[in-house]
Structure 1
Amino acid sequence: GRPAATSQPVTAAAAPAEPAERPALDARLTFDRFVVDASNRVAFNAARALAEPGVPRFSPLFLHSGTGQGKTHLMHAIGHAFLAACPGASVLAMSAERFMFEFVQALRARDTFAFKARLRSADLLLIDDLQFIAGKDATQEEFFHTVNEIMAAGKRLVISADRCPQALDGVEARILGRMAVGLVADIKPPGSELRRTILDRKLADLPDAGAVPVDVLDLLANRIHANIRELEGALNRVVAYAHLTGEAIDLDFAVATLGEVLRGGQRRVTIDDIQKLVSRHFELKPLDLVSERRARAIARPRQIAMYLAKRLTTRSLPEIGRRFGGRDHSTVIHAVRRIEELRGTDRDVDDAVRVLMRELEGA
């Protein structure tokens, strides 16, 4: 980490036009704490490259993704790494909204000089959420000139938005043209494997988190797709509620604690969907799963289908049993426990469950 300030001290003359507080770089948001996989590797590598000292290979870097996928993390990480490599550098980090606010304040004070000088003196300028200046003509005019001067001086510029430049309605074409000169990198929504890895990393960071069972972590990773922020928030909530209530964390506790969050993230998977997909995966007829046949080649896929029905639908145990040839709810419980055991010891079963879950959830 670095002290809170993200720029060099401003001169006394500039002080009146500048609001007292600016966003600080978050000490937790560094490159070594960013979990990388295929969905974000290009953006991660581009961010690392831009933070290296010397002549930047490209600028600006334009990062885009949905909310909570890691754009802001990468921007702060660039700031930390660049300051570590160039301790005397001037780094400014702000949202596009903040840019607009400070510019309007400077206009009202009839002193835009200090505002312009501060931004254009930055060795690294980080602007988050560019979409917020859409339709704001005066702000866009100033933003365009700032971008031009920073690029002409060979300095570093990083901009993020919730969509790619071409999809930013209300942002001037000349600004978007400037973005295209650099590198545009997207961050795709995390798949279930990355979500699971992120939970493991987050759990290791939580003080006194205690034991969070694997099936609870799997539940969160499989059900919460919206974004990483929401995923981490769900884990925080489960751990905090366990501390406050003194209860042990298990699957039932997690479901009770996160009811609405889990329902919101759950895609509408039906038992019918599960039976069709499991039959196709194991090359069986759908009728085999509801039949009385007990051969392992049928019984094991049937247990996997029951396990998935319990994990991915809101149907009760008796209802799941009825949909599998009128079986008792205790048979469903046995199937769920058996598959949970086998996932820890049998690679083929675990791989099959992961593939089926991914396909059912579209992750």
Structure 2
Amino acid sequence: MLVVQRSGKAGTNPATKATTAKVRIQDSQSQDDVASQLTDTWQTICSGLRRDLGAQIFGQWIKPIKLARFDSDSGELQLVLPSEFAANWVRERYAERLALAWKAHSTDVKNISFSAKAGTARIAKVKKDKAVANEAIAKTSSGKFQLDLDPRMTFDEFIAGHSNVLALNASQRMASPEKPLFSPLYLQSSTGQGKTHLMHAIGHAYRTEFPSARVIYMSAERFMVEFVSAMRRNEAMEFKAALREADLLMIDDIQFIVGKISTQEEFLHTVDSLISRGKRVVVAADRPPQALDGVDQRLLSRLSMGLVADIQSAGLELRRDILQHRLASLPHQEVSEDVVEFLARTISRNLRELEGGLNKLLAYAQLTGRPITKELAEEQLSDILSACRRRITIDEIQRTVCEYYRLDRNEMSSKRRARAVARPRQVAMYLAKVMTPRSYPEIGRKFGGRDHSTVIHAVKLVEQLRGEDTEMDNDVRMLLRQLES
């Protein structure tokens, strides 16, 4: 539960013990009421943010936030995230928006703070996301990194198809006893298409071939956290040495290393050192090397010099095969062909959602005793299905905004700065950022080749105006509903 603190101290005079005890009970009840109200308010705020930011951004950055501590005297509310990286990310990009949301819904909250450690006043132990737990590493007393791979993510469990066969073959070659023809191996795909699975599979297979090999697997986020922590402890040399002792180094989600100059420098030297000694390097990202904005050109050159294996979105046949493979491991579960076909055709955005949808259906059927039918799937997976049925593009956003404000479509790319044109253009940039996975530079290119700083300014301005101008907020809400409908 949310901890509510007050700085005032209760009296200790023996003559007033009964009165003090009564006051403490009332105080406790009052604090419980405040905690309950804040929890309810947070649910309301989250509903609005999910609608405004979109399911992807909300799920990645806002949903993990937990309420930790509220000081009723100062009005400060502490928000806790699973990692320092996440706390900094949300603080930099969403602090103002969250503060405005709290002030709009609660007169008690005056300020908000962000932390990765809630301390003794934590609501509860922050639960680590399964993916983060799989990525986490721990240092042993000798300074080496402990390998933590998911036992389910092996080559045997990876279903091959036309969209991923190159990446699969390259990954198997990277794990084989023969020296690979390329290093590094760069795995590229959108979220949930199998990059992480292949990296874990490489680790398992390589350790089978070379049981004493030194294998390191971590996310780019963990790499940055460990590197910064090592520098603060004056152990940077030990950290570098441990990395460069690796026979196989695998870094996931490399796109999160953007903008971190010192971290990029260290990663560059590590990659150079390993490749020069014939060691193996595997990295994964959600975009090709050339699209990693804010990354040192020397590092981009190293990442591109090996093999870039692109995993395309899974086709219908592959999605069917994945569902059938999953069901084959659960012979006691009966799922008809029409349900499998419905899921394969409908949940097409990524494979993680596809398996998650099937798992949800299986769990629901077990707990309720209801048979798994197409009707049950539509009922229980409505959120996933609606998200998959709707893919919003920047072109669609521009068209919708122009129709709403009665502008010519060419104004989205024009150089005109008149407010009647510039403001709708800024709204379109804002919507493009919150409703699509596109980066600031990618959005800028869609708006007449504008610089990424122009897009950042537009997003921040519209966020500010939404909190100050009711008409602007109504406009944005109306556009969001039109685009999501």
- Equivalent-residue separation in structure 2 for 1:226 and 1:204 (angstroms): 23
Match of 1:115 in 2: 239
Amino acid at match of 1:251: K
Task: Give the number of aligned pairs.
Answer: 258
Deviation at residue 223 of structure 1 after TM alignment:
0.5
State the partner residue of 2:64.
none
| Corresponding position of 1:40 | 164
- 1:118/1:144 CA distance change after superposition, 3 Å: same
Task: Please give the residue correspondences for 1:1-363 in structure 2 after superposition, counting only pairs within 5 Å.
Answer: 12=142, 14=143, 24-206=148-330, 208=332, 210-266=333-389
Q: Distance in 2 between matches of 1:9 and 1:106?
A: 11
| Distance verdict in 2 for CA 1:5–1:248, change over 3 Å | closer
Alpha-carbon distance in structure 2 between the residues aligned to 1:106 and 1:30 = 32
Please report how far the alpha carbon of residue 179 of structure 1 lies from its aligned counterpart in structure 2 after TM superposition: 1.2
TM-score, normalised to structure 1, is 0.68
Q: SS where residue 249 of structure 2 aligns?
A: strand
The CA RMSD measured in Å over matched residues stands at: 2.2
Give every structure 1 segment of 4 or more consecutive aligned residues whose post-TM-superposition deviation is greater than 6 Å.
Answer: 4-9
Structure-2 separation of matches of 1:9 and 1:230: 33
More relative contact order in 1 or in 2 (CA 8 Å, sep 6+)?
1
CA 1:240–1:5 in 2, change beyond 3 Å: closer, same or farther?
A: closer
Residue 95 of structure 1 contacts residue 127 of structure 1 at CA under 8 Å; is this kept in 2? yes
The one-letter code matched in structure 2 to 1:62 is Y
**Partner SS for 2:370:** coil
Contact 1:60 1:159 in 2 (8 A): yes
Residue 84 of structure 1 aligns to which amino acid in structure 2? T
Residue 5 of structure 1: CA displacement? 12
Summarize deviations over 1:111-144 as a string: whole Å, max 9, x none.
1111111111010001000000100111001111
The one-letter code sitting in structure 2 at the alignment partner of 1:186 is D
Q: Quick one: which amino acid aligns to residue 208 of structure 2?
A: A
Cα 1:183–1:87, aligned 2, differ >3 Å: closer, same or farther?
Answer: same
**Does the 8 Å CA contact 2:174/2:202 hold for their aligned counterparts?**
yes
Tell me, in whole angstroms, the C-alpha distance in 1 between the residues paired with 2:151 and 2:267: 28
Q: Give the letter for the 2:325 counterpart.
A: R
Q: For 1:237 and 1:168, locate their aligned partners in 2 and report how far apart those are by CA, in whole Å.
A: 35
Distance 1:8 1:138 in 2: 22
Q: Cα offset for 1:206? A: 3.7
Name the CA shift for 1:5/1:238 in 2 (closer, same or farther; >3 Å).
closer
The whole-number CA distance in structure 2 between the counterparts of 1:188 and 1:264 is 19
Q: How many angstroms does 1:57 deviate by?
A: 1.8
SS at match of 1:234: helix
- Equivalent position amino acid for 2:386 in 1: R
CA drift at 1:53? 1.3
Structure 1 residues without counterparts, runs of 5 or longer: 269-363
The amino acid of 1:200's aligned partner reads Q
Query: What is the aligned partner in structure 2 of residue 318 from structure 1?
Result: none
Cα distance between partner residues in 2 of 1:5 and 1:231? 22
Structure 2: which amino acid aligns with 1:31? F
Tell whether the 8 Å contact from 1:6 to 1:90 is kept in structure 2 after alignment.
no
Cα distance, 1:24 vs structure 2: 1.0
Q: Could you give the per-residue CA deviations for residues 31-61 of structure 1, whole angstroms, max 9, x where no partner exists?
A: 1111111101111111011111142321100
Letter in 2 for 1:164: P
Query: Conserved in 2, the CA contact under 8 Å of 1:7 and 1:90?
Result: no
